[in-house]
């Protein structure tokens, strides 16, 4: 895979070239507001199951669930791309009728930009089983660093009911208030940070055709700005992906279905030349889609 594609409007390419930036929207204000919390809910369900069903590890399950309640999408911003160029569903969903463009960015250049900023360029995960597995792996990793019960599971199971309750309470107190609290807190904090990193990559399997990749910018250094959405203001930051020396990040532009496709193609070539980007390839979509 050489390119990742960003679908936009005619106004969009004007803004991107003028500013050398693309917008990354706050994760709580994406088109599907539930996306971030989709992955978080898996972890909460897993922790709740441990707490309710496994008395031996109930203190661990409670600590994980309690920690995850504080996780939010604050200071988390997302810019979206697709592996697929000239995709009908993308023209329909993300571009104005008869006036859409698909911008092809060099993957290596995007990755270099992200590495320099401490951001991440990652592929979205659509398969439900894979999403669950990733969360389970993180919770298991968390338990490796979490204080362990002082009794073995076998010894615990051999206790009478009252002694089991006493052991469970003792484990909870040791990890929530006692000497082992710092170790427990550190393990939970690492888990919450890791969940925050992967949650923006979880998407409903029904959107798998989009083959989406995302730049995930956590605690970005860029200032927060605001744009109008249909019924609210959406916070965003501007990522300077076309800054020096990465001007070559933009490699191609595809003109979407358009009633004046040839005229649009000619004007986009003139626009690119005015920014010193004459080598960017300009193509037209052959899709017989009429939306105007």
The label of the residue with tokens 């005619």 reads 10
What phi and psi values does residue 96 have, to the nearest 5 degrees? -65, 150
In a domain, 290, yes or no: no
Residue 289 lies in a domain: no
Q: Give a yes or no: residue 291 inside a domain.
A: no
How many structural domains are present in the chain? 1
Tens digits of per-residue pLDDT, 161-195? 999 999 999 999 999 999 999 999 999 999 998 88
Query: Is residue 78 in some structural domain?
Result: yes
User: Phi and psi dihedrals of 184, rounded to 5?
Assistant: -65, -45
Residue 119 is part of which domain span? 3-284
Q: Pull the structure tokens for residue 76.
A: 């988390």
Cα gap 222→113, rounded to integer Å: 14
281 CB contacts (<8 Å, ≥6 apart)? 251, 252, 253
Q: What pLDDT was estimated at residue 34?
A: 67
As a whole-number percent, the residues of the chain with pLDDT over 70 amount to 95
Contact status, residue 103 vs residue 9, Cβ threshold 8 Å: no
Q: What is the pLDDT of residue 141?
A: 94
The model's pLDDT over 241-264, given as tens digits with 9 standing for 90+, comes to 997 654 579 999 999 999 999 999
pLDDT of 184: 97
- Calculate helix-pair angle for 128-145, 35-53, nearest 10 degrees: 60
Q: What is the mean pLDDT of the chain?
A: 90
Asked whether residue 60 is assigned to any structural domain, the reply reads yes
Torsion sign over Cα 197, 203, 205, 208: negative
Residue in the structure block whose two tokens are 């329909």: 92
Reported as a single tens digit per residue, the pLDDT across 86-104 is 999 899 888 888 899 999 9
The single residue listed with the structure tokens 């105007």 is 292
Note whether residue 224 is domain-resident: yes
Distance CA 19, CA 153 (A): 60
Q: Is residue 229 part of a domain?
A: yes
The whole-angstrom separation of Cα 93 and Cα 49 is 38
pLDDT value for 247: 56
């Amino acid at each position: 895979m050489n390119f990742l594609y960003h679908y936009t409007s005619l106004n969009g390419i004007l803004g991107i070239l003028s500013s050398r930036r693309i917008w990354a929207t706050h994760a709580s204000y994406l088109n599907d507001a539930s996306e971030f919390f989709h992955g978080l809910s898996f972890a909460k369900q897993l922790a709740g199951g441990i707490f309710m069903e496994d008395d031996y590890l109930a203190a661990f399950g409670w600590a994980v669930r309690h920690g995850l309640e504080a996780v939010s999408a604050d200071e988390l911003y997302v810019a979206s791309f697709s592996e697929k160029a000239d995709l009908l569903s993308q023209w329909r969903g993300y571009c104005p009728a008869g006036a859409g463009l698909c911008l092809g960015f060099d993957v290596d250049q995007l990755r270099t930009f992200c590495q320099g900023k401490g951001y991440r360029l990652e592929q979205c995960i659509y398969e439900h089983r894979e999403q669950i597995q990733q969360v389970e792996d993180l919770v298991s990793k968390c338990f490796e660093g979490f204080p362990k019960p002082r009794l073995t599971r076998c010894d615990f199971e051999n206790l009478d009911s009252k002694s089991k309750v006493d052991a469970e309470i003792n484990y909870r107190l040791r990890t929530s208030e006692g000497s082992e609290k710092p170790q427990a807190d550190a393990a939970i904090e690492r888990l919450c940070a890791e969940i925050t990193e992967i949650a923006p990559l979880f998407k409903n399997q029904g959107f798998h055709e989009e083959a989406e990749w995302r730049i995930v910018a956590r605690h970005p250094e860029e200032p927060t700005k605001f744009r109008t959405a249909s019924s609210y203001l959406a916070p965003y930051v501007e990522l300077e992906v076309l800054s020096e020396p990465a001007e070559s990040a933009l490699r191609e532009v595809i003109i979407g279905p358009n009633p004046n496709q040839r005229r649009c193609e000619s004007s986009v070539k003139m626009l690119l030349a005015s920014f010193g980007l004459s080598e960017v390839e300009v193509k037209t979509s052959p899709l017989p889609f009429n939306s105007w």
